[in-house]
Amino acid sequence: MVDLNTIASLCKRRGFIFQSSEIYGGLGSTWDYGPLGVELKNNLKALWWKSMVYERPDIEGLDAAILMHPEVWRTSGHVTGFKDLLVDCKSCKKRFRYDLLKEKKCPECKGELTEPRAFNLMFKTFMGPVESSAGEVYLRPETAQGIFVNFKNILACSRKKLPFGVAQIGKAFRNEITTGNFNFRSREFEQMELEYFSHPDESDKWFKYWVNERFLWYKKYGIKEENIRLREHGKEELAHYAKSCYDIEFLFPMGWSELEGIAHRTDFDLKQHSNKSKANLSFFDEETKKDIIPHVIEPSGGVDRAVLAFLINAYSAEKVRGEKRVVLALNRNLAPVKAAVLPLLKNKPEVVGFAKKIYEGLRGDYKVAYDDTASIGRLYRRQDEIGTLYCITIDVESLTDKKVTVRDRDTMKQERISVDSLKGYINARVK
């Protein structure tokens, strides 16, 4: 399997992911997505949104604010409960998350560790001009609470009946103790979260359903069988709000690690917020004529972790006719660049002019690249390395027969296609 350094250096060199504020020495565990990274990330989020909101009649979308009333986090249990235990090494002074340690010694220098201390992961800031505790607010550590506090609003405007869900994609912030492993654990990241509300009696059924559904989603977009597995949480691991939880794990270079968690949150959040805010966060059941507080199933995935997993999963380095070929075999919906236009003879103005016209004709619906700055072998290698699906080459003959050569990334097969049918040919394969 590819190691993280190789992926991180490809990401930097080709413009997927940069360290944040790099020219100032970088800011710990925050990342910027470059021209290709933003395409991959947007494609991923669009696929999630499509499968949640567009393909289903029972799910609506939401985009809530990052800053919320501080009472939200007291009521949700995050102020008291969203903590990790940290330990320091008495010798090398490095800091670790207690629950991630395999033994009770420093994993780096084997030194003695301090007693574990609880550390709240939420970032705090101040609202208004005065930095006082009265103006203290938190950057949300999960997007879910925005959905719970809007439960009534969404129910009223959508007139949904149980079971139904609310989907949201957005930034979350956690002041993580141990970081590293590239963008796997960042302090600022994006989550794709669904809160699926059902009758309490049906919630276990829906829990199983969503575990399976989310597992299949990753496979549908190319995660290989051998790279993905499910792991059920032990009782001692469960978050303060969860009755049961499964992790979808991916085989990252540092070992099996969480890609997405599917939690059965029961009625914990709606009940807590109902009690505290006095708002009625229940659902009126027409059949029984009773108010019920639905139970909620929450598939919660990290966009950044999924980007990393899809990159690792897609990477391969192979030898083709004695030369190294690095390919990112990303699913066609995820690939950041769908097609690249490559003129074979850049010193022939007619060929270049023709190629540019083809490039202009293809642009608009997805990202198309144009490159004439190297030999054709090199140009192909550049496009393979970023996962471009189709390379279109234009030669002298193209000027007379009005045909171009289209090369498929995965099979490397080449086909001669008439310019008139090119757009249809590419559209049919990339959309």
DSSP 49-74: HIIIIIS-TTEEEE---SB--HHHHH
Closer Cβ to ligand ATP, 249 or 384, answer by number: 249
Closer Cβ to ligand ATP, 100 or 396, answer by number: 100
Closer Cβ to ligand ATP, 120 or 186, answer by number: 186
What would the two tokens of residue 188 be?
């600022």
Minimum Å gap between C-beta 260 and ligand ATP is 5
Closer Cβ to ligand ATP, 305 or 338, answer by number: 305
DSSP letter, residue 365: S
Minimum Å gap between C-beta 254 and ligand ATP is 12
Minimum Å gap between C-beta 97 and ligand ATP is 8
Minimum Å gap between C-beta 179 and ligand ATP is 8
| Whole-number Å distance between alpha carbons of 312 and 156 | 43
Distances (CA, A) of 300 to 52, 178, 193, 265, 315: 12, 21, 4, 12, 25
Q: Using an 8 Å Cβ cutoff, are 295 and 197 in contact?
A: yes
| Whole-number Å distance between alpha carbons of 127 and 124 | 10
Closer Cβ to ligand ATP, 88 or 249, answer by number: 249
DSSP 274-332: HHHH-----EEETTTTEEE--EEEEEEEEHHHHHHHHHHHHEEEEEETTEEEEEE---T
Closer Cβ to ligand ATP, 240 or 402, answer by number: 240
Q: Collect all residues with Cβ–Cβ distance below 8 Å to 174 and sequence separation of at least 6.
A: 121, 122, 123, 141, 187, 189
Q: Which residues bind ligand ATP (CB under 6 A)?
A: 174, 176, 185-186, 189, 191, 258-261, 300-302, 304-305
Closer Cβ to ligand ATP, 163 or 170, answer by number: 170
Closer Cβ to ligand ATP, 187 or 403, answer by number: 187
Report the amino acid identity of residue 100.
L
Minimum Å gap between C-beta 189 and ligand ATP is 4
Q: Using an 8 Å Cβ cutoff, are 90 and 53 in contact?
A: no
Q: Using an 8 Å Cβ cutoff, are 392 and 406 in contact?
A: yes
Minimum Å gap between C-beta 419 and ligand ATP is 44
Nearest residue to ligand ATP, by Cβ distance, number only: 302
Minimum Å gap between C-beta 258 and ligand ATP is 5
Cβ burial 411-427 (10 Å sphere, 16+ → b, else e)? eeeeeebebeebeebbe
Which is nearest to 119 in space by CA: 57, 174, 190?
Answer: 174
| Whole-number Å distance between alpha carbons of 29 and 85 | 19
Minimum Å gap between C-beta 12 and ligand ATP is 18
Closer Cβ to ligand ATP, 28 or 361, answer by number: 28
Minimum Å gap between C-beta 390 and ligand ATP is 32
Which value, in Å, is the radius of gyration of the alpha carbons in the chain?
25
